[in-house]
Amino acid sequence: MPTTLPDMTPAKMCPQTEIAQRFLASAYDSVNGVLTSFDAVRDVRRAKGGSIRGRLPQQEEDLLRSAITFACAGLDSTLKRVIRDALPALLERNTHAHERFEKFVGARIGPGDVADPRRIAQYLVQTDPRGALIDAYIYEMTGMAGRLSASGSTKTRSSLPGASRN
């Protein structure tokens, strides 16, 4: 019996999730490829008269571990990409998301009831202060730089206001 994943549900096209959907599809294909290799190794063992019952040999166990690793890495990349690409639009449409963003901004510009003028200035001097705050929020959630800059490249962590420049 082949070890494969069930077919994926067809993607629903949405500009904010298009890249994330490709990441997910690639991860799915990678995991299925590893599972196909797993089946081939087991078929070879069976053809040589070996039993496929009982504990898996190290080689087969390693293939299953790599399938789990690919699946986890693919889900991680997909979720980070969804956050990165969809969050700006979500903040415009979802009250709860916007409230959480406001809470983040409040904590970012100063602890407690007093705002830190230097932190506020770091954002106000940006070409797009709100975008810089969104980038910081995305970084906080994902560990990745936020939206794409005008040049098409992602901003680096050190370019975000308040980021350590180590």
Q: What is the pLDDT of residues 140-159, one digit of tens each?
A: 999 866 554 443 444 444 44
Q: Phi first, then psi: give them for residue 102, nearest 5 degrees.
A: -60, -40
Q: What pLDDT is recorded for position 146? A: 58
pLDDT value of position 114: 77
What is residue 13's predicted lDDT score, i.e. its pLDDT?
82
Give the list of residues 6+ apart from residue 146 with CB closer than 8 angstroms, or none: 84, 131, 134, 135, 136, 137, 138, 139, 154, 155, 160
Region 39-55: what's the mean pLDDT? 86
Over residues 78-92, mean pLDDT? 94
Coil, strand, or helix at residue 154? strand
